[in-house]
Structure 1
């Protein structure tokens, strides 16, 4: 057997391993797609079988409009212009935040 025969045999073996790996990958991908389709069908069947739910009732809002203190201080009116970054940084530093 010559070096040329050895390299051809190795090339064939490598190609066969590549084909086997590709077939395994395709089989795993097909199994995953089939499983997702099965689970989707089960979910859709379960959703179709359960009665239609009404929209959840909104929680009662407090006198402040249901906003927390932090939300009230950070909300802006529609016509307010954004503050410059320097003002925001100064406020953060005076409020105790370290950057």
Structure 2
């Protein structure tokens, strides 16, 4: 009578595990890079959204000011009739100009 073997042998399990490990070794660094890129883009988007919000407030408030919101610093200043709104975070800075009077 033939013995019927159900399941995997040790060799088949080791080969499957090594293939799985190789695939993970290529995918995990890409995943970390993607998460880092997403965090950077999120910070940039928050910075630009804050500048957009402050630009809308500038229509109603014509005073120079400095403001800190979380880790963002926003500065509104007027030079030669042109308003400049600058926002700075730990990693980015961006300035926007407006000719509002």
TM-score, L = length of structure 2: 0.41
TM-score, L = length of structure 1: 0.41
Specify which structure has the higher proportion of strand.
2
> Larger RCO: Structure 1 or Structure 2 (Cα < 8 Å, ≥ 6 residues apart)?
2
Specify which structure has the higher proportion of helix.
1
